[in-house]
Structure 1
Amino acid sequence: MTTLALARPTMPVSLTDLAPISLADLSAQAELLTRVDRKYVVPTSVLPLWLERIAAGTRILEIDGRRSFAYRSCYWDTDQLDSFLTSGQGRRRRFKVRGRTYLDTGSTFLEVKTRGPRGTTVKERVLHPDVTGPRLDTVASTYVAHRLRAAAIDRVAPANLTPALVTTYRRATLVTPGGEVPVRATIDADLSWRLPEPAGAETANLAGMAVIETKGASTPSPFDRVLWRLGHRPVRISKYGTGLALLRDDVPDLKWHNVIHRHLTIERGERP
């Protein structure tokens, strides 16, 4: 079995036998900006078993010979943590705002996630330079305001959002036929959280584990059914909500209490 190194330490994933799919084809066939998400936290040792059992025809995103990609996301929130609290409390009008940088290429997208009908997640995004200051610029603030207004979220002033959390990780993306709707799954490894500068230097790192997220229709996908047969069920995990609860003593665990205390193996460290 071939081992693919996603980062140090390596993640033992047998991905080399899967047929590749280009970014253009993936976007055309299964962009899935409106979808039902299911998330799983699994030991990295489970990944080869899962990959061996998923449906024939599964393909993996490949760009310039790479099959895993480094990401950095900066989440923006109000001083009152409206995004964190409404998500953790399961509110209908919840939202996330983040800048996602693809570290292999340097491109950054400004993304807004809201809730659609029947529990779907709606992600809208626009290419935008990485925002490193304490406030969104005028273009970014205007875009966020439009997207939140379209989702009937009018209590948040985007110009007042500030950086709240930074995450880094490596991701591989799979796609497989899923009936009428193609289904995607992502594997995130080497996940690390930190608070933005000038907050404390502590980091929280997910040790020996990966986060699998399936993205498709309301019907469970082949990705999901194989995970269930291997004894893994969806859990409530949010990179933003979980990470903020891990690093800040002044916020509650909310709906992430179970995953934090029962499913995650966390290593604490200091950022370089």
Structure 2
Amino acid sequence: MTITSTTALRPIGLDELIEVGSLQTRVDRKYALTGADAEMALALVDPSTRVLEIDGVSELGYTSVYLDTDGLDTYLLAARGRRRRFKVRSRTYESNGASFLEVKTRSGEHTVKHRLPGAHVLNGRLTDEGAAFVGHTLRRAGVRNPPVARLSAAMRVDYRRVTLFHEATASRATIDSELAWWDVRTGSWLARPALSIIETKTTGRAAGMDRLLWSLGHRPDSVSKYATALAAMHAHLPSNKWRPVLKEHFQPVESLACA
């Protein structure tokens, strides 16, 4: 899906967005929509909303690589809704080639994101600096005996993203589209070009994008770009948490990834 509904919005640069709307600790709400529904929502956003623009481009390419243990510990923590669940991933921005190592943890209802600039995954494994950062971050979040040495690249996802910033509420929303996944360990792949994932990021209260989506009949979904796709690609994994999204957006099974 090519996003066309943001052309009338005032742009915001990356440095300014980081300064006024980084929201490293936030409440996330996610919505799995068809591309057409996402485009409709974007056409109706508050006109005071600003759109992230880099070099004149607002629909930006991203690549994320998620790390997990051979036993899929981080996946299982998410599938079972464990309080100390976490994600570790690298992210690369197509626009400028910048990379970050990111660790996401939970603090009550809040998601807390920690970032280390630079490329810290080499040949599928964390560098020494990356491993030290992940271990320190997880221990501070209360994760006992974090499995840092056992983490390796598990899933790559490529997608296009539009990022919106609403100044009045200091909230952000991201719209991810053209999603494609590659299971690094099995070589399986999966693409869902008709799917868009909208994520709102706020300090707690629902943002304008949340209320807009609710008015259009959409409610938050349990969806994860890593875990939901992995469940779709490997039917034996526990996946009750994501069953509604799997049924609506990842069926029929025969169209899923093949090695």
* TM-score, scaled to structure 1: 0.89
Deviation at 1:264, TM superposition (A): 4.1
2:219 matches 1:233 = yes
Gaps of 5+ in 1: 1-9
Specify the alignment match of 1:120 in structure 2. 110
Aligned alpha-carbon RMSD (Å) = 1.8
Q: Distance in 1 between matches of 2:243 and 2:41?
A: 26
Distance 1:270 1:255 in 2: 24
- Give 1:12 deviation, angstroms: 4.5
Show structure 1 runs of 4+ deviating over 3 A: 263-271
1:35 pairs with one of 11, 17, 26: 26
Kindly state the Cα deviation for residue 261 of structure 1 after the two structures are TM-superposed: 1.0
Cα pair 1:76 1:161 within 8 Å, conserved: yes
Please say if 1:152 is aligned against 2:138: no
Contact 2:54 2:95 survives alignment (8 Å)? no
Query: Residues 45-56 of structure 1 correspond to what in structure 2 (within 5 A)?
Result: 45-56=36-47
**Do structure 1's residue 76 and structure 2's residue 67 form an aligned pair?**
yes
Report how far residue 86 of structure 1 moved: 0.8
Deviation at 1:130, TM superposition (A): 5.2
The 8 Å contact of residues 78 and 160 in structure 1, kept in 2 or not, is answered as: yes
| Cα distance change on mapping 1:12 and 1:107 into 2, 3 Å | closer
Change (3 A) 1:136 1:53: same
Q: Deviation of residue 137 (structure 1)?
A: 1.5
Aligned with residue 189 of structure 1, among 169, 172, 177:
177
CA separation of 1:103 and 1:156: change in aligned 2, threshold 3 A? same
Contact 2:101/2:130 (CA < 8 Å) preserved in 1? yes
Contact in 2 for aligned 1:128/1:140 (Cα 8 Å): no
Three-state SS of the structure 2 residue aligned to 1:80 is: coil
Q: Tell me whether 1:26 sits opposite 2:17 in the alignment.
A: yes
- The change in CA–CA distance for 1:48 and 1:136 in structure 2 (over 3 A counts) is closer
Quote the residue 1:218 is aligned against: 204
Equivalent residues, number? 257
Q: Which runs of 5+ in 2 are unaligned?
A: none
The answer to whether the 8 A contact 1:167-1:192 is kept is yes
The sequence identity of aligned pairs, in percent, is 40
Match for residue 95 of structure 1?
Answer: 86
The answer to whether the aligner puts 1:170 opposite 2:165 as a matched pair is: no
Q: Give the drift of 1:62.
A: 0.6
SS in 2 for 1:145: helix
For residues 14 and 95 of structure 1, the distance between their equivalents in structure 2, rounded to whole angstroms, comes to: 34
Residue 189 of structure 1 contacts residue 211 of structure 1 at CA under 8 Å; is this kept in 2?
A: yes
Q: Distance in 2 between matches of 1:102 and 1:12?
A: 18
